[in-house]
Amino acid sequence: MNTRAPTVKLLVLVWAALLVLLFVTWGVAELDLGRWGIVAAMTIAVVKMLLVVLIFMHVRYSSSLTWVFAMAGMFWFSIMIALTMSDYLTRSGAFW
């Protein structure tokens, strides 16, 4: 069976890290970073996602097949965003 699982100590540490990241992203939002604001906010969101997926959702401790299933949704979602934006980001005229 699934003999490897996160310890209570690790779970609490991950939670503490998530809260620290929450306050960091809140603080960063109070600054006017221009275009870098969105980069900072999304980078922090992705780090939080990885902590939840890998530790709380046990993907780090799961089989490769589980890993593939867990990645599949995000993979197709990325394709949907990338192909759609390849249109909107390259339009030369005013289409709106």
Partner 1 sequence: MPEATSTFAEQFEDARQQHEAVTLGMWLFLATEVLFFGGLFLAYVVYRHAYSTAFAAGSAHTDLFYGTLNTAILLTSSLTMALAVHAAQENRPRSITRWLLLTLALALGFLVVKGFEYHKDFVDRLVIGLNFNPTLPAHAELFFWLYWAMTGLHAVHVIIGIGVLGCVALLVRRKSHAPANTIEVAGLYWHFVDLVWIFLYPLLYLIDRHS
Q: Rounded to whole angstroms, how far apart are CA atoms 12 and 67?
A: 23
Least distance in Å: CB of 91 to partner 1?
10
* Positions in 35-74 near partner 1 (CB under 8 A): 37-38, 41-42, 44-45, 48-49, 52-53, 55-58, 62-63, 65-66, 69-70, 72-74
Nearer to partner 1 by Cβ, of 30 and 92: the residue is 30
Return the residue of 60, 81, 92, 93 that touches partner 1, per CB under 8 A: 81
User: CA nearest 56: which of 16, 96, 1?
Assistant: 16
Residue 1 burial by CB count (10 A; 0-12/13-18/19+): exposed, middle or buried?
Answer: exposed
> Is position 20 an interface residue for partner 1 (rule: CB under 8 A)?
no
